[in-house]
């Protein structure tokens, strides 16, 4: 998306045919991971930090990214 919230199109992006038969033979359709809706209580200062950091939009996604990075680091360290 661009700054105005519209979908962006890259006119220089390769077309399907340019990717070659080998690419399409190995390509697989994958379903995105299923999301779970949760109710989460946060301290106001934590919520405001992420909201302000994101400029008021995308703060929930940013929180998820931080949590995912934490989980990945813990898994890599062998901690569950």
Identify the pLDDT of residue 2. Answer: 60
Of 29 and 8, the structure prediction assigns the larger pLDDT to 29
Which residue in 74, 66, 63 sits closest to 38, CA to CA?
63
Residue 63: CB atoms within 10 A of its CB come to 19
Q: What is the pLDDT of residues 40-58, one digit of tens each?
A: 999 999 999 999 999 988 9
Identify the pLDDT of residue 80. Answer: 74
Three-state secondary structure call for residue 33 = coil
pLDDT-derived band of residue 3, with 50, 70 and 90 as boundaries?
low
pLDDT-derived band of residue 9, with 50, 70 and 90 as boundaries?
confident
């Amino acid at each position: 998306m661009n700054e105005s919230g519209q979908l962006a199109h890259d006119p220089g992006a390769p077309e399907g045919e340019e990717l070659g038969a080998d690419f399409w033979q190995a390509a697989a359709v994958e379903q995105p991971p299923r999301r779970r809706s949760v109710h989460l209580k946060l301290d106001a200062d934590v919520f405001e930090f992420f909201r302000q950091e994101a400029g008021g939009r995308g703060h929930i996604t940013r929180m998820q990214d931080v949590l995912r990075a934490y989980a990945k680091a813990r898994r890599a360290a062998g901690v569950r």
